[in-house]
Amino acid sequence: MTNNIINLVLCGVLFSSVISITFSNPIISIIFLITTFVQAACYLILIGINFIGISYIVIYVGAIAVLFLFIIMMIHIKLTDILDTGNNYTKNLPLGLTIVSLFIFVLFSILPYTYNNISFQLLPNFLPLVASKQQNTLI
């Protein structure tokens, strides 16, 4: 049961951090940044690191994120400036998706993983060859 709660908190951290990055409204982004910090603190408390979890809430949520929110509320950003950034976002979206897909491919090709005692690896013979070449060379 505890693992399910931890997994739910981690999914919440990922969701709120992605929303914090992708929203064009800075006030909503900072509110989701605050929820990211609170959920990360809850995760640390659930795994038993109570002091660091509480210090996350005090330092990040209590000081830094509230300061960001106060500064953005004082700036008075125009709504037209926020809406103009949407065009730049869609222009860079294919490049971002390409970089993310390359990162995921490299990650899954380097790290082997197991599912139901069946081992999967995209590049099975590449890594031992590289490791053996690095051990035999002297600098």
For the chain, the three-class secondary structure string (H helix, E strand, C coil) is: CHHHHHHHHHHHHHHHHHHHHHCCCHHHHHHHHHHHHHHHHHHHHHCCCHHHHHHHHHHHHHHHHHHHHHHHHHHCCCHHHHHHHHHHHHHHHHHHHHHHHHHHHHHHHHCCEEECCEEECCCCCHHHHHHHHHHHCCC
Residue 23: how many other CB atoms lie within 10 Å: 15
Q: Which CATH class is domain 1-77?
A: mainly alpha
Q: Where are the domains of the chain?
A: 1-77, 79-139
pLDDT at 89 (0 to 100):
63
Q: pLDDT for 32-81, tens place per residue? A: 988 999 999 999 999 999 999 999 888 888 888 788 878 877 877 666 66
